[in-house]
Structure 1
Amino acid sequence: MFSNNNRNTRSESKTVMPTSNVNIIGSGTTIQGDIVCEGDIRIDGQVKGLVSTKAKIVVGPEGEIIGDLVCNSADIIGKVTGIIKVEDLLFLKGNALVKGDVYTSHFEMEPTAKFNGRCYMEPEEVAAANQKEKHGKSVATEKVLQEA
């Protein structure tokens, strides 16, 4: 029934790893705390805290972040209250609502999106902001989290 040949074949086979690392916070989920990851992340629920990745963040139409956002690129369709630091492209789509300052190299915004804050696009300001608070909460975020 079980032969040595089958066991050898199985042990010699390579484990198939996924080609991408995508993290999803689903609708109806609330997380209180920081999220730090390496791969892409999509948020359709609510996060109260820092969200940081070296890849892309997508905040879906029902998604909400109350805290800072640090990433390489971001597409925001939902709500973000806090400081956003994006190395490459920040794209506000649809009915996005952003309340807080933005540090980015490239910024795109659809006419239906709303943005209340300051935008910094000078490379030295973006780099300084990323170095200063790479994985820490800003003073503004601490205030928002205490009020929530």
Structure 2
Amino acid sequence: MPNRRLRLLDRYPGATQWSDDVTVVGHGMTVEGELSSEGTIVIAGRVVGPVSSGTLVRVMQGAVVEGSIRAKCVLVEGAVDGEIGVQDQFELAESGRVRGDVTGPRIAVAEGAYLKGRLRATAGTVHRFRERRNR
């Protein structure tokens, strides 16, 4: 059984090393409409519409999502304006900004992160942490 306390980037190397099952919305790119993938989605640009992934959605610092996100895991380092639902783990980094409700079994919010909405931990509690990861 994997260590459930591992940070998302440690559990999903595809979010930092591109492979065939990673969808990337690049910096300066805008996607309007539904964005869906069974693999990892990394957003460095802007998405207007709902986002869904069978694994991980990573919203990079400087990126913007205007719509809901549904995935196994979500890491927000940029900005999201919409509801977020996860099946496993949600992580809001120090640089992250969320306006909307977050629901999932494991929720972690870094000191200094911005959240305007409700947190609903469906199992366990909401964890706070100090960002120590090198970027």
Greater share of residues in helix: 1
* Structure-2 change in CA distance of 1:106 and 1:48 (3 Å): same
Q: Which residue of 1 aligns with 2:120?
A: 120
Tell me the CA shift for residue 20 of structure 1. 5.2
Any idea what the Cα deviations from partners look like across 1:47-90, whole Å, max 9, x if unmatched?
00000011101000011100000000011100000010011110
User: RMSD of aligned C-alpha atoms?
Assistant: 1.5
Greater share of residues in strand: 2
Give the residue type in structure 1 aligned to 2:36. Answer: V
| Distance across 1 between alignment mates of 2:40 and 2:96 | 19
| Distance across 1 between alignment mates of 2:111 and 2:86 | 20
Give the residue type in structure 1 aligned to 2:45. Answer: G
Any idea what the Cα deviations from partners look like across 1:1-43, whole Å, max 9, x if unmatched?
xxxxxxxxxxxxxxxxx97501110000011100011000100
Unaligned residue ranges in structure 2 (runs of 5+): 1-17, 124-135
Q: Which residue of 2 aligns with 1:86?
A: 86
TM-score (norm 1): 0.68
Q: Which residue of 2 aligns with 1:56?
A: 56
SS of 1:72 mapped into structure 2? strand
Identical positions, percent: 28
In terms of Rg, which structure is larger?
A: 1
Tell me the CA shift for residue 94 of structure 1. 2.3
| Distance across 2 between alignment mates of 1:57 and 1:48 | 15
Structure 1 moving runs of 4+ over 6 Å:
none
